[in-house]
Structure 1
Amino acid sequence: MKHFFKLQFIAVIILLISCTDNDENPPAFPEGSTESVNLWVRDSLKRYYYWADQIPAKPDYHLPVKEFFKSLLAPQDRFSFIVNTEDPSSYPRSIRNMYGFDYTVLQQTNGEVVTVIKLVLKDSPAFNAGLERGMIITKINGKTVTASNAEAITSSMKDLTVLDLNVGSWSNGTVTGEKEIKVYYGLSFEQPLLSKIFEKNGKKAGYLYIYDFPDGITQKLSQRFAEFKAAGVQELILDLRYNYGGSVSAAAALCSLIPSGISSASPFIIFKGNKNGGEVKRTFAQQIAYDPKALDFNTLRTNALGLNKVYILTSNSTASAAEIVINNLKPYLQVIQVGDVTLGKDMAGFTVEDKRKPQKIRWQMHPVIYKVFNANGAGEYSNGILPQVSVNEYAALPLLPLGHADETLISSVLNGTYFKSVHKEASTGEVKILYQSDVPPIAVGRNL
């Protein structure tokens, strides 16, 4: 399931078949039984899970595997999950990874409820069907979306293989040009970087939209920054509003391309685990090197902009490695965050699966292993990272394409509205967000 939520970090595959604590005597179960799989699950979590000390002492090994896994998780854990690699239905599903788009249900200032498409992935089923950012959905499978039924409709869409949508354009406060579109379930391909160069107050501002942080992205990042540097870019706008995260190494590579005054030995991140995992500190160079496909730190630095300030656009869908970019740049330059509060995934982990040949256990775990902190030891943002300036992306409809100079979040930076106030609305902001199809996401990936 390559495209589930795109939260990918460097792979660490652990074989844990029998690692029980010496002071416990768990029961013995026949190999291949549900109970034996559950024992493997429990033993793995006891050693690596961040909240291992909260695992029940006497779990019910007779539960189905997925239910058993959930019964061991800490109440505050929103992100750990388990899948059966032989059963596609066991993987987390979302509108984005099934169809390639996301939408938001809004309440206008006059009380009218509208559903607006906020994201359409390139080369996705939605893109190929003709959906565009800014379109208004009037009906989904014959039903009008309301604040009360939006969640139920979204949930039902995850059990289908084709969607019947009625969509139109927003013009002068009303929907025009309605038409019917079918969107079929399918794969979305790797998303391209989007870059622009704007003239801002006599300076050149580089804009870079990054959808996610896959391993191997460093060459593309370096190329875009080389173009910015050659053009004389003096300010930078990073658009991470829909970025679920991905590889921490890719995030470190991006961060290495922005500030001045850092070296390969500059500290980048601190991982803090349970009593077994302890604390792990990594420099920029060390973290980047965990991606075997990455350009090295010194090569990346040849294209660094050497800035003392960066603007980062965020939303409730900004998560994990994207949040690490925000938090871990702060020790090295001024970060001006514009938009909405982020998701709040201040954690990392790695994949746990059976690597025996032949493989005997088909289940694969994605548990939380570490909390993450920046070079100054700052972290603990499980409630999300607050922007310096809150800007409602939906304050003005229709939504303009990402990268457009007049798009709400971009224009709030280019036009200087970020100087108006801190922690207050920089736009009219009276439109209310009632529901978002992609919040909260659960991420599949490699977290170290």
Structure 2
Amino acid sequence: MPTQSIIRFFKAAVLVLAVVSVFIISCKDTDEDIPNFPEGSTESVNVWVQDSMRRYYYWAEQMPAKPDYHLPVKDFFKSLLSSQDRFSFIVNTDDSSTYPRSVRNMYGFDYTTLQMPGGKVVTVVKLVLKNSPAQNAGLERGKIITKINGTLLTASNAEQLTTSIPEKTILTLTVGDWKDGTVTNETNMTIYYGFSLDQPVMSKIFEESGRKTGYLYVYDFPDGMTPILNQKFAEFKAAGIQDLILDLRYNYGGSVASAAALCALIPSGITSGSHFITYKGNKNGGEVKRTFSQQIAYDPGALSFPALRANALGINKVYILTSSSTASASEIVINNLKPYMQVMQVGDITLGKDMAGFTVEDKRKPRKISWQIHPVIYKVFNADGEGGYSNGITPQKPVSEYASLPLLPLGNPDEVLLSSVLSTIYSKQESKEISGEKMKIIFQSDAPLISIGN
């Protein structure tokens, strides 16, 4: 079960063009200097990795001409990567220990360590996945963690404690409530390493003075999610909402086809032939342009573009909540809606994964190489040719969700980010300090995973 949890989570964190596995039997390199290593040796696997990367990798021309074929496979792969690459990675499908591990994929939650005004350090639970080991143990968003496995959590040891978590199968937390600037009601809880189920799409409708606003929290973009998106928008349309808030603050990405389907449900004036995305690769990959309809169709279980447009809202402005965990396909939603409507981004700057790729693996029967490559293959651009956001997409309205503690449940109208947008929509004065300038983020538990290639 733990292995399955890791595999499911890392798949959700990878930006893919479609569910594609590339069938590579041999990419025989033309370089006469490459020795002919025995089949099955580490060196022969490394040659396969090099040949695959030369064919598909976005920065293929920057790869070293004469790498060390005697390195372990993971080290050899890293030796090929560009200094600009934060995201490419490789796993051995026969060895679960090679898959990315994090607090979120092992236990189902994430936290942020903050330095408060005056220097006090506080660690806040920011996300608890539904039907996860953490939720089953009773952990909730907004709780304060004071100890991890009996060790007091401080600014100096937060990263070290987080790094040690993947080595354990049982996690003991001391948690409490935040009240009037102090932690109260401290208790101990035990969380067992396990499996988190698929996360639901959450929707709500807010109304004030006859004006209705739809709120949609989307945790990730798996293939096959278009029916639930279509259902949620059918409900929004039937209710007559006039404004839409997308909450993508913890969305690492996933399928571009699902992201395209979400985009197709929002603006007015688009057709099946409207340009959705451009992929630009190396000299082998070239440039690929796709319409909304073409991109959506890359998910074999997706509803058609006309079926989705039947429930499209046809609005001209959308509000999107973001954080530094907003990445990949969720950043594509932000960037690729901009040519067709006004996008008001609220929250923090996004991660900056303006790239896409697909899985490269050996599909021979019997398979001879168990390693699986997840390289950056394309840079992505919207219909206006705009992209290049490797430093993240900056919000028009910067807001720190930690500006007011305790953190409230997602979807609560008084929660900081959501309240900020609702105040704008309903022309109300914001009751909370939202800049968060006095609050310093020291460490976030998902930081190691979102820079997955390092």
Name the TM-score class by shorter chain. over 0.9
Deviation per CA, 1:128-151: give whole Å up to 9, x if none.
Answer: 000000000010011111111111
Conservation of the 8 A alpha-carbon contact between 2:208 and 2:426: no
User: Compared with structure 1, are the counterparts of its residues 426 and 140 closer, same or farther at alpha carbon in structure 2 (3 Å cutoff)?
Assistant: closer
Q: Distance in 1 between matches of 2:11 and 2:414?
A: 28
- 1:64 maps onto 2:72 in alignment: yes
Distance 1:177 1:183, change over 3 A: same
1: distance between equivalents of 2:51 and 2:77?
A: 11
State the match for 2:13 in structure 1. Answer: 7
State the number of aligned residues.
442
User: What's the counterpart of residue 432 of structure 1?
Assistant: 440
2:378 pairs with one of 370, 374, 399: 370
8 A contact 2:24–2:363 mirrored in 1: no
> What is the aligned partner in structure 2 of residue 84 from structure 1?
92
TM-score by length of 2: 0.95
Matches within 5 A, 1:51-130: 51-130=59-138
Deviations 1:202-261 (A, max 9, x none): 410000000000000000000000000000100000000000000000000000000000
1: CA distance between counterparts of 2:138 and 2:31? Answer: 61
Q: Secondary structure at the match of 2:167?
A: coil
Farther off after superposition, 10-19 or 30-39: 10-19
Q: 1:318 aligns with which of 319, 326, 336?
A: 326
Residues 444, 221 of structure 1: CA spacing in aligned structure 2 closer, same or farther, 3 A cutoff?
farther
Contact 1:166 1:180 in 2 (8 A): yes
Structure 2 distance, partners of 1:79, 1:428, is 29
Residue of structure 2 equivalent to 1:332: 340
CA deviation map 1:3-42 (0-9, x unaligned): 2261353122112232234354421011000000000000
2:92–2:99 contact (8 Å) kept in structure 1: yes
Instruction: Give, as a single letter, the amino acid of the residue that structure 1 aligns with 2:379.
Output: K
Aligned counterpart in structure 2 of residue 296 of structure 1, from 285, 300, 304: 304
Segments of 5+ residues of structure 1 without an aligned counterpart are none
Quote the Cα distance in structure 2 between the aligned partners of 1:380 and 1:174.
43
**Aligned match of 2:284:** 276
Which has the higher mean CA deviation after the structures are superposed, 52-61 or 140-149? 140-149
C-alpha separation in 1, matches of 2:440 and 2:261: 36
Q: 1:161 aligns with which of 160, 169, 193?
A: 169
Q: How far apart are residue 110 of structure 1 and its match? A: 2.4
Taking structure 1 as reference, are residues 321 and 59 closer, same or farther at Cα in structure 2, changes over 3 Å only?
A: same
Tell me the amino acid that sits aligned with residue 272 of structure 1. K
After the TM superposition, which of the residue ranges 428-437 and 340-349 deviates more from structure 2?
A: 428-437
CA displacement, residues 184-204 of structure 1 (integer Å, 9 cap, x when unaligned)? 100111000111001245410
Contact 2:402 2:436 in 1 (8 A): no
Relative to structure 2, which stretch is displaced further, 8-17 or 365-374?
8-17
The letter for the 2-side match of 1:2 is R
Counterpart CA distance in 1 for 2:232 and 2:109 is 26
> Which runs of 5 or more structure 2 residues have no equivalent in the other structure?
1-6
Structure 1 61/396 Cα, relative in aligned 2: closer, same or farther at 3 Å? same
Q: CA deviation at 1:174?
A: 1.1
| TM-superposed deviation, 1:428 | 5.0
Deviates further, 110-119 or 242-251: 110-119
1:416 offset after TM fit, Å?
A: 1.6
Does the 8 A contact of 1:257 with 1:303 survive in 2? Answer: yes
**Structure 1 counterpart of 2:3:** none
Give the AA of the match of 2:12: K
Instruction: Report the Cα distance in structure 1 between the residues aligned to 2:329 and 2:348, rounded to whole angstroms.
Output: 17
1:39-438, aligned counterparts within 5 Å?
Answer: 39-200=47-208, 202-416=210-424, 426-438=434-446
Q: TM-score, normalised by structure 1?
A: 0.96
SS at match of 2:395: coil
Distance between the aligned counterparts of 1:437 and 1:292, measured in 2?
Answer: 34
Structure 2 residue aligned with 1:27: 35
RMSD between superposed Cα atoms in Å: 1.8
Give the letter aligned to residue 407 of structure 2: L
Q: Kindly tell me: are residues 187 and 137 of structure 1, through their superposed partners in 2, closer, same or farther at Cα, counting changes over 3 Å?
A: same
User: Would the alpha carbon gap of residues 398 and 362 (structure 1) be closer, same or farther in structure 2, given more than 3 Å must change?
Assistant: same
Greater Cα offset, 124-133 or 200-209:
200-209
Aligned counterpart, 2:4: none
Identity %: 71
Contact persistence 1:317–1:440 (CA under 8 A): no
* Shift in CA distance, 388/402, structure 1 to aligned 2, threshold 3 Å: same
Q: Is the 8 A contact 2:218 2:247 kept in 1?
A: yes
